[in-house]
Chain A
Amino acid sequence: MTILLIYVAIFVGAFFAVKAVASHLTKRSDFTSRKTVTFGDESAVTANRAASVISVIAIFLIWGAFTGSSWSPIHAPGPFVGDATFTYTAETPDGQRDDGTVHVTVFPRDAAADAPEIEPGDGFAKDDAAKVAAWRSVLIRVDRNDELGRDEGAKVVAINGQAIAPGETVEVDSGEVTLTPKGTPNYKPEQGWQMEPVWLPPPEAVVGRVIEIMGGGYQNFTLAEHVGWSLFRVIAGFLAGALVGIPLGYAMGLSDWFRGWFDPIVEFMRPVPPLALIPLVIIWAGIGEVGKVILLFLAALWIMTIAARAGVSGVRISKIHAAYSLGASKWQILRHVIVPNSLPEIFTGARVAMGVCWGTVVAAELVAAEKGAGMMIMVASRFQLTDIVIMGIILIGVIGYAIDILMRMAENWLIPWKGRG
């Protein structure tokens, strides 16, 4: 919740800051800047690049600040580390009371420490020493060294002079003490605002993992091999799907028999998420490459079929008529009119199919695989290697985005007439 508020504050603050700076720095006078109506004019709204940059920086800054990253100039308060003390009051059944002091050393998670050495003190309640790692809690078994312990009926009744009963909590310096149902104090040092590395490692740990796995590999394969295999499966499955789907789509767009025959199949298979086919594909083809490629083939097939069918159906009848009255044969019309006319639709379909395939391959690898980006993060999660999991997620996102950008570039290059018919 706090993080969300901070994020919103950065969003709003950056908005005013950038607007203030921009209005002083640049006096644009292109056509758009002269528009008085921009609210509702879609063409006047382009992404503010400053906002994009600040957005990315803000995410990394918050990530760094809340994980105690050494890269971040600011930090959220971390967990308590150091020595803490509190006193407890024990009471015997006959009303005798005595105080004991507990010394706890809280050490950082990646370091080791010894409990402080202390004198037992006087009275029947002796002083105790304990150690605990940051973010963890420790049971202080006070009655073990007390002269009158639990066996004699002594109970802890107060912490730092505040009365306490089993199940209750008392705030102490740099932490809190909870009495367990059996009456043992449980000391929990202050957590601070930062995330534990097990939940969210700092960015430098993730980057460190990238470098480590690029060279040394993880689960018998280097990073490039994991990602490369995932990409190979996507490309193989997509190509197979396109190779079958596009001719099928053309046939469905050009022949009533094909349309009638395949309509029920396509319309049935289209809403079935490819992920739902994973179990069946594993049963049929195992968890090897063949199964993965079959799955991605099925993921791409229906999308490409429907795209090609739409491309054929979308051709203007006047273009076909024009080609016929210019003397073109059926084959020539297919080759010179229908195919080029359907390319924009097919490319849109290909972009969707590539996205779906990439998502499906990761999911399939999460379920079962010997290598691949999804398998890497799944295995890492079982060993609580959160840095590898985060690294994998970022990598999967970046690659998915890169695929889409490449497809868009290819589209602009190959079919410049798109949307200008």
Chain B
Amino acid sequence: MTALTIEDVSMRFELPNGASVQALQNINLDIGTGELMSVLGPSGCGKTTLLNIVAGFLAPTEGIIKLGNEVVHGPGPERGMVFQQGALFEWMNVRKNIGFGPAMKGAPRAETEARVTELLEIVGLHDFGEKMIYELSGGMQQRVALARCLANDPEVILMDEPLGALDALTREKMQSLVLEIWKKTGTTIILITHSVEEALLLGERLLVMAPRPGRIHKEYRLPFAEMGVGADLREVKHHDDYGTTREEILSMIWDMEEEIMGRSETAA
């Protein structure tokens, strides 16, 4: 079943100096329900623009986004979003942050509280409910962000480099948590990252995007996400295919980066 359809989406905007940028060109994608898709690409390839269009923060110049059969026109709670960092509300404690979505919907208090307790358990923060956001470490803050998103039971979770600012060890723990949640909830997840390893580990389906204009360059179907659920992610990395795919994608992105550099050098 298709959870999300991206139909012929193009994005073009004009710069103040009169030039225009083709950020995305004719993107077509069907994302199945419960699919875990990672998007990878060099900076400037339009992956964040694509995510913002899916989230409803940007309207594409052409094409439409459909969630099920509904056309998306703006942001909505059925498409939850996890940001890199600094998107939590530091004037609220952890419980209030997680319960924000249900509270805005006007859900009964007791129900929200029960759900928050449950989510605190899932993300491993049961003792931290009454703490303020600024009392938590970066990794804990991202756990809260994840739980806050889950509290709305979204159909799709959009993640915009959610683990980008974390140290390697915390990052690995969080990657396991994302996999665990994906398996447990069966939610469709689109994850944007600039780490090849993360894209490999957290993508049943991996999309490599190319810049200028932003487009889908190559698509992979990978077994590592499935293997990683409940397992040690370092074990997964020892898999033979993992190494070869990683090298292939890395050189692909290197080529793109070099092309960009070369082009801007000749332009200069």
Contact = CB atoms under 8 A, between A and B. Distances in A.
A359 to B, nearest CB: 32
Interface stretch (B14-22, B87-95, B206-214): B87-95
Nearest to A333: B104
B132 A318 contact: no
Contacts of B104: 323, 326-329, 332, 336
B56 to A, nearest CB: 8
A386 B62 CA distance: 79
The A contact surface, by secondary structure, is: helix
A207 B45 CA distance: 74
B184 to A, nearest CB: 21
Interface string B72-116: 001111011101101111110000000011001100000000000
B75 A325 contact: yes
B57 interface: yes
Interface in B47-74: 55-57, 74
A416 B132 CA distance: 10
Contacts of A325: 55-56, 75-77, 79-81, 158
Interface stretch (A61-69, A190-198, A212-220, A337-345): A337-345
Contacts of B79: 325
A415 interface: yes
A318 B83 contact: yes
Given A325-B76, A325-B77, A327-B76, A415 B86 contact: no
A16 interface: no
A220 B88 CA distance: 57
Nearest to B77: A327
Contacts of A321: 55, 57, 75, 81, 83, 87
A326 B101 contact: yes
Interface core residue of A316, A318, A337 (most chain B CB under 10 Å): A318
Interface string A282-321: 0000000000000000000000000000000000101101
Contact of B86 (A318, A328, A329, A332): A318
A10 interface: no
Interface in A244-296: none
B142 to A, nearest CB: 13
Contacts of B75: 321, 324-325
A421 B86 contact: yes
A343 B158 CA distance: 30
A417 B81 contact: no
Contact of A327 (B84, B88, B101): B101
Interface in B178-233: none
Contacts of B83: 318, 321-322
A327 B105 contact: yes
Nearest to B78: A327
Interface in A200-217: none
A420 interface: yes
Contacts of B152: 326-327
A336 B100 contact: yes
Contacts of B132: 416-417
B143 interface: no
B58 to A, nearest CB: 11
B91 A343 contact: yes
B88 to A, nearest CB: 8
B133 interface: yes
A417 B90 contact: yes
A417 B133 CA distance: 9
Interface in B228-245: none
A337 B101 CA distance: 13
B134 A420 contact: yes
Interface in B139-172: 148-149, 152, 158
A318 B87 contact: yes
B54 to A, nearest CB: 11
B47 to A, nearest CB: 16
Nearest to A321: B57
A326 B75 CA distance: 9
A340 B91 CA distance: 7
Nearest to B148: A326
Contact of B91 (A316, A329, A415): A415
A341 B91 CA distance: 8
Nearest to B84: A318
A340 B172 CA distance: 34
B55 A417 contact: no
Nearest to B90: A417
Contacts of A341: 89, 91
Contacts of B133: 417
Interface string A377-421: 000000000000000000000000000000000000001110011
A324 B56 CA distance: 10
Contacts of A420: 90, 134
A72 to B, nearest CB: 50
A321 B91 CA distance: 17
Interface of A: 316, 318-319, 321-329, 332, 336-337, 340-341, 343, 415-417, 420-421
24 contacts: A319-B86, A319-B87, A321-B87, A322-B81, A322-B88, A323-B104, A324-B57, A324-B75, A325-B76, A326-B100, A326-B104, A326-B152, A327-B77, A329-B104, A332-B104, A336-B89, A336-B100, A336-B104, A337-B89, A341-B91, A343-B91, A416-B132, A417-B90, A420-B90
Interface of B: 55-57, 74-77, 79-81, 83-84, 86-91, 100-101, 104-105, 132-134, 148-149, 152, 158
5 tightest CB-CB pairs across the interface, nearest first? A327-B77, A420-B134, A324-B75, A318-B87, A326-B101
